[in-house]
Structure 1
Amino acid sequence: MPSKFPALLFCVFLLNACADMAASPAPATQSRPPQARIPYPEPDMQAQIHKLGIQTARLEQQIESLQTRVRQLERRPAARTAARSGSGAAAPADSARPVAGGYDHALRQYRSGNYAAAIALLRGADSGGNGSDDAREQMYLLLQSHQRMGNCESVINIGNRFAKRFRNNPQASEALFGVGSCQYRMQQQDIARDTWRKLIQTYPDSPAAKRAYAELKKR
C-alpha cells in the first residue's frame, strides 16, 4: 500500500488539472461574425439595355471606320500607278463621298427602337454641319430620335434650327410641327399656336400644315 499511494495521488492531481482545463473558457479566437452586406441599388434594366446598345453601336461604328480606312489604303497604290502612267482615269465614284457610317448605324438603331444609341451616334449633328444632304439627313434623324425619346427641349432647339437652315426642304415643315407639339406639351400654348400658324403660312400645301390646322381647330 505505501508504494501505491504516490501513484494514486499523482492520478488525482492529474484529473483535477484536466477538469480545470476543461472548465476554463477557451481563448477568444473565434472570428467576428460577417458584417451584413450593404445593398446597393441595381441599375434599371432599361437603362442597362440602352447603355449596351450605345456601346454596341459605337463599336460597330469604329469597325466600319477601320474598314473604310483599310479600303482607302488599298486604293492608294492604284491611284499612284494611274497618276504615274498619265492615264487620267477617273477616281472611283465613292472616293469623294464623305464616310456615312455614323448615319447608317444611327438609322439602324433608330429603326430598332434604340433611340438613345442613335442620339449618341449623331452627337454633333445638331447644327447641320456644312449644309450638305448628308448633314441634313443626320440632323433630321437626330431630331426624330429626340422626338421619340420625348426630349422636348432638344426638339425645339434642333427643330427651329433645322427649319431655318433647310427652309426649302420639305422636312422643314415636319420639323416645325414637332416644335409646336413640344411647345404645347411644355405649357407654351400661345407660342405653339404661333409656330403652327407660321407653319401654315410658310408651307400651306404640306401635310404638316394640314395637321397644324387641325391642332389649331381643336385648341
Structure 2
Amino acid sequence: MNPKLPALLLSSVLLLNACANTGASPSSATQGNPPDTRIPYPEPDTQAQIDNLGIQMARLEKQIESLQTRVRQLERRAPAARTPARTGSTTVPAGPALPVTSDYDNALKHYHSGNYAAAIALLRGADSGGNGSDDARQRMYLLMQSHQRMGNCESVINIGNRFANRFRNSAQASEALFSVGSCQYRMQQQDIARDTWRKLIQIYPDSPAAKRAYGELKKR
C-alpha cells in the first residue's frame, strides 16, 4: 500500500467536513434574525375607494373629451374628408357624426349619481368663472354645489362669493349667497352668516332664496 494514501484520505475527510460546515442551510443561518415587526399600511375604506375610482373615471372622461376636440380640429382642417366618397357610379355616404359629451355633462351625471368627488375633479379650474360665458357660469355653480354636497364649506364660501359678484344678474346668484350664509353659520361664523343673509334679502328681495334667508334669520 502506498504510505501516502492514509494521509490523502485524511485530508479529503477534513476538506469535506469544512465544506459541510460552510454550507449550512439558510434556515439555520436566519434563526437568529428578529421577527418582521413592520406595521401593515392600512387599507382605504370603501367610500375612499369609490371616490378614487370616480376620480380616475373623471380623468379618463376628460382625456376622451380632449381627444374628441382634437378629432374635430382635424376634421375642420380637412373638409374634403367630409364629402361623400365615390366608387365608380356608387356614392358612399359619410358616416354619422359621433355625439360629443362635454366635461360639464359628465360632471352633471356624476353629481346626480352622488359621485361628487368625480364631478369636482372634472370641474377643476372652473372656480374663477372663466370667460364669463353661460357655460363658465354653469360649471362654476355646479362646482360650488358639489363642494357643498361634500361638506367643503371653505370652498363653498370662496366660490359662492366669487360667483355672486361675477354673475350677480343671474338667477343663481341669490342661491349662491344663501349657500355661503349656510356654510358660514355651520363654521360658527353666525354674525357673518346673518350679514350674508341680510345682503341677500336686500339685493334679491323677491327671490326664493331671500324668503329662505328671512326664515333663517327669524329662527336665529
Preserved CA contact (<8 Å) 1:50 1:117: yes
Superposed, which structure 2 residues align to 1:115-154 within 5 Å? Answer: 115-154=116-155
Cα separation, 1, equivalents of 2:41 and 2:63: 34
CA contact (8 A) 1:65 1:101 kept: no
Larger displacement relative to structure 2 (133-142 or 58-67):
58-67
1:103 aligned onto 2:99: no
- Counting only pairs closer than 5 Å after superposition, residues 154-169 of structure 1 correspond to structure 2 as 154-169=155-170
1:113 aligns with 2:109: no
Q: 1:79 to 1:182 in 2, by over 3 A?
A: farther
| AA in 1 matched with 2:185 | Y
For structure 2, list consecutive stretches of 5 or more residues without a partner in the other structure. Answer: 1-20, 83-99
Structure 2 vs 1, CA of residues 43 and 199 (structure 1 numbering), >3 Å: closer, same or farther? Answer: same
SS across alignment from 1:136: helix
Q: Against the structure 1 CA distance between its residues 162 and 133, is the aligned structure 2 distance closer, same or farther, given a 3 Å change threshold?
A: same
| SS, match of residue 129 in structure 1 | coil
Distance between the aligned counterparts of 1:169 and 1:136, measured in 2?
Answer: 9
- Rg: which structure is higher? 1
Q: Secondary structure at the match of 2:60?
A: helix
Query: What SS class does the counterpart of residue 125 from structure 1 fall into?
Result: coil
CA contact (8 A) 2:61 2:103 kept: no
Tell me if the contact between 2:178 and 2:197 (Cα under 8 Å) persists in the aligned partners.
yes
The two structures have a TM-score, normalised by structure 2, of: 0.74
CA distance in 2, matches of 1:214, 1:186: 19
How far 1:79 sits from its partner (Å)?
A: 7.6
Aligned residues: 180
Question: Does the 8 A contact of 2:65 with 2:101 survive in 1?
Answer: no
State the Cα distance separating 1:218 from its structure 2 match: 0.5
**TM-score (normalised: structure 1):** 0.75
The aligned counterpart of 1:3 is none
Unaligned runs of 5+ in 1: 1-24, 82-98
